Amino acid sequence: MKKYAISVPVLAAMMASCAGGDKGDDAKRPNVIVILCDDLGYGDVSAYGSKTISTPNVDSLAHGGVCFNNAYATSATSTPSRYALMTGMYPWKNERAKILNGDAPLLIDPDGYTLPKMMKNAGYVTGAIGKWHLGMGNGDVNWNETIIPGAKEVGFDYSCVIAATVDRVPTVYIENGNVVGREADDPIYVDYNNKFDDEPNALDNPELVRMQWSCGHNQAVINGIPRIGYMKGGKNARWIDEDMADYFVGKVKTFLNDNKDKPFFLYYGLHQPHVPRTPHQRFVGATTMGPRGDVIAELDWCVGELMAELRKLDLLDNTIIVFTSDNGPVLDDGYVDYAVERLGNHQVTGGLRGGKYSLYDGGTHIPFFVYWKGHIEPTTSNALVCQMDLLNSFAALVGQPVRQDLDSKEMLDVFLGKSENGRDELVLEAAGRLCFRKGNWALIPPYNGPEFRETELGNLKDFGLFDLSADRGQTTNVADQNPEKLEEMKLSMHEAVQNYYNAVK
């Protein structure tokens, strides 16, 4: 039996009636926290049974809440995946929703509808802390002034973020649109095309590089780490990579303390285990897997700190926590950090094929847990769900309209473990290409480009059809044996992608 202190419809009605801000009811509204990791694989948490890694804090969410076995990001890379989470729309409907550089303009329409705006409409205080990667400014950012538009225009009352990825410039924190610690006499400039002659870069100054690159990542050298893009100035404002986990945990704690008496929505974008992997000294050697394993231990600590603070503030049983990852895992993502060499028996995807960037399941089939102490009976769910569905589902939770013009599906009962009636189908994206899930079947349309990492990415010369009920690891293409199913899947995918994509005929 699942138990709810307040039934969901009653809660929704109550909140609709007090959306104007009746303070008296605020304590009853559940806070919502979405923890979004960066490149964490399905097999990278011990909650799904891995014995080669230990993530006790993350596991406490999985074991105390709904542990989803069949949850997806919309995309196999960060920007499109985050775009869908924020907007409730498929990322392939926006051609700019591709991996963005640090100086890219804001991807999300400032006038558009978003998850944080919906929560704000319901009377919530909203915050974004950690990785952003959705662009900011109008395309010609002056890093020495307040950057507009940004997280605020997307719907966040408070934000403290890194602009893109840890491997991209500018390597500074941006709080409410302002570079933290910027100084008028050391202005910041960013350029992704041209180097600054008086700043070190990896090709001309190899002696400064303490983490070698294996692919790309040979431009600005900052803190001894070669990055993507060039940067000048802001010497005192630059982050220390090893301190980033503590820095953002501190911001999370401050946000929780500042807003403990109001209903809040917090988006916490953890930067681990994305490259460059630079654990704090306390986590160096925490695992036998080198930096990639160690930053997962650090990630788990961050989750533990968040939980401890909620407990301390007596907010734990009034806060829904979603834990997930923006896309699947990768070992070598452009730096020499021995992720491959020290992997041992660890299976980053937990047996799924492919990984980050892939149309195979490893690209988008991610860890996903929903925890609400005292309100969700611990359970596992095989329902097909997507991160994009959180928008309309939380709308149902907080009494806001469920919008039919979004790709987001309302499935609050599924997320709360009351129902296994998930999605029928889902379109997934990797590197601008699409694949399709329906029921237990996965369809990967053919790729007409040059031969390119087929085993890893799913660049198949002909249609790939996989029966996930019998072959979770997508080892065998059964298109030839199932011509009717193949036609049915092609038709369904064609309908789902409509005019946006013409590879399925």
Does the footprint of ligand NG6 cover residue 99 (CB under 6 A)?
A: yes
Which residue from 29, 30, 38, 116 is in contact with Ca ion, where contact means CB under 5 A?
38
Contact residues for 424 (Cβ-Cβ < 8 A; gap 6+): 384, 438, 439
Does the footprint of ligand NG6 cover residue 203 (CB under 6 A)?
A: no
Give min distance, CB of 161 to Ca ion, in A. 15
- The label of the residue with tokens 């202005």 reads 187
Judged by CB, which is closer to ligand NG6: 99, or 336? 99
Q: Which does 275 bind (CB under 5 to 8 A by kind): Ca ion, ligand NG6, none?
A: ligand NG6
Which residue from 70, 278, 319, 327 is in contact with Ca ion, where contact means CB under 5 A?
327
Q: Given 3-state DSSP classes, what are the helix, strand and coil percentages for the chain, each rounded to the nearest 5?
A: 30, 20, 55
Does the footprint of ligand NG6 cover residue 378 (CB under 6 A)?
A: no
Integer Cα distance of 30 and 415 in angstroms: 14
Nearest CA-CA partner of 436 in 358, 366, 359, 367? 359
Neighbours of 370 (CB within 10 A): 25
Pick the piece of the chain touching Ca ion (CB under 5 A) from 12-20, 241-249, 318-326, 456-464: 318-326
Pick the piece of the chain touching ligand NG6 (CB under 6 A) from 21-29, 213-221, 469-477, 481-489: 213-221
Integer Cα distance of 377 and 447 in angstroms: 44
Q: Which does 165 bind (CB under 5 to 8 A by kind): ligand NG6, Ca ion, none?
A: ligand NG6
CB burial class (10 A; 0-12, 13-18, 19+) of residue 472?
middle
Which residue from 13, 203, 215, 491 is in contact with ligand NG6, where contact means CB under 6 A?
215
Does the footprint of ligand NG6 cover residue 216 (CB under 6 A)?
A: yes
Pick the piece of the chain touching Ca ion (CB under 5 A) from 35-43, 211-219, 363-371, 484-492: 35-43
Total residues interacting with Ca ion, rule: CB under 5 A? 5
Integer Cα distance of 34 and 326 in angstroms: 11
What is each CA distance from 336 to 5, 114, 277, 333, 348, in whole angstroms? 51, 38, 10, 9, 18
Give min distance, CB of 251 to Ca ion, in A. 20
Which residue from 31, 50, 87, 165 is in contact with ligand NG6, where contact means CB under 6 A?
165
Does the footprint of ligand NG6 cover residue 358 (CB under 6 A)?
A: no
Pick the piece of the chain touching ligand NG6 (CB under 6 A) from 1-9, 49-57, 298-306, 326-334: 326-334
Which residue from 298, 326, 429, 456 is in contact with Ca ion, where contact means CB under 5 A?
326
CA atoms within 13 A on the CB side of 185: 0
Binding to Ca ion (CB under 5 A): which residues in 62-121?
Answer: 78
Integer Cα distance of 226 and 228 in angstroms: 7
List the helix and strand counts (H, then E) for the chain: 11, 20
Contact residues for 398 (Cβ-Cβ < 8 A; gap 6+): 12, 15, 29, 118, 119, 122, 124
Which residue from 78, 114, 201, 492 is in contact with ligand NG6, where contact means CB under 6 A?
78
Angle at 78 between CA 163 and CA 411, to 5 degrees: 115
Does the footprint of ligand NG6 cover residue 325 (CB under 6 A)?
A: no
Q: Which does 333 bind (CB under 5 to 8 A by kind): Ca ion, ligand NG6, none?
A: ligand NG6
Does the footprint of ligand NG6 cover residue 340 (CB under 6 A)?
A: no
Beta bridge partners of 269: 36, 130
Integer Cα distance of 219 and 289 in angstroms: 27
Which residue from 241, 305, 333, 456 is in contact with ligand NG6, where contact means CB under 6 A?
333
Pick the piece of the chain touching ligand NG6 (CB under 6 A) from 22-30, 139-147, 215-223, 248-256: 215-223
Q: Which does 381 bind (CB under 5 to 8 A by kind): ligand NG6, Ca ion, none?
A: none
What is each CA distance from 334 to 55, 369, 371, 442, in whole angstroms? 25, 29, 34, 29
Integer Cα distance of 194 and 171 in angstroms: 17
Give min distance, CB of 73 to Ca ion, in A. 9
Mapped to the 3 state alphabet, what secondary structure does 271-295 carry? CCCCCCCCCCHHHCCCCCCCHHHHH
Give min distance, CB of 386 to ligand NG6, in A. 18
Judged by CB, which is closer to Ca ion: 333, or 389? 333
Judged by CB, which is closer to ligand NG6: 38, or 153? 38
Helix pair 291-312, 244-258: axis angle to 10 deg: 20
Q: What are phi and psi of 302, to 5 degrees?
A: -55, -45
Which residue from 12, 29, 39, 278 is in contact with Ca ion, where contact means CB under 5 A?
39
Judged by CB, which is closer to ligand NG6: 87, or 327? 327
Q: Which does 370 bind (CB under 5 to 8 A by kind): ligand NG6, Ca ion, none?
A: none
Does the footprint of Ca ion cover residue 167 (CB under 5 A)?
A: no
Integer Cα distance of 447 and 464 in angstroms: 10
Does the footprint of ligand NG6 cover residue 334 (CB under 6 A)?
A: yes
Binding letters toward ligand NG6, positions 32-51, x by CB under 6 A: ------xx------------
Specify whether the CB–CB gap between 428 and 74 falls below 8 A.
yes
**E strand or H helix that includes residue 491:** helix 483-497
Q: Which residues bind Ca ion (CB under 5 A)?
A: 38-39, 78, 326-327
Instruction: Name the site residues for ligand NG6 (rule: CB under 6 A).
Output: 38-39, 77-78, 99, 133, 165, 167, 215-217, 228, 274-275, 327, 333-334
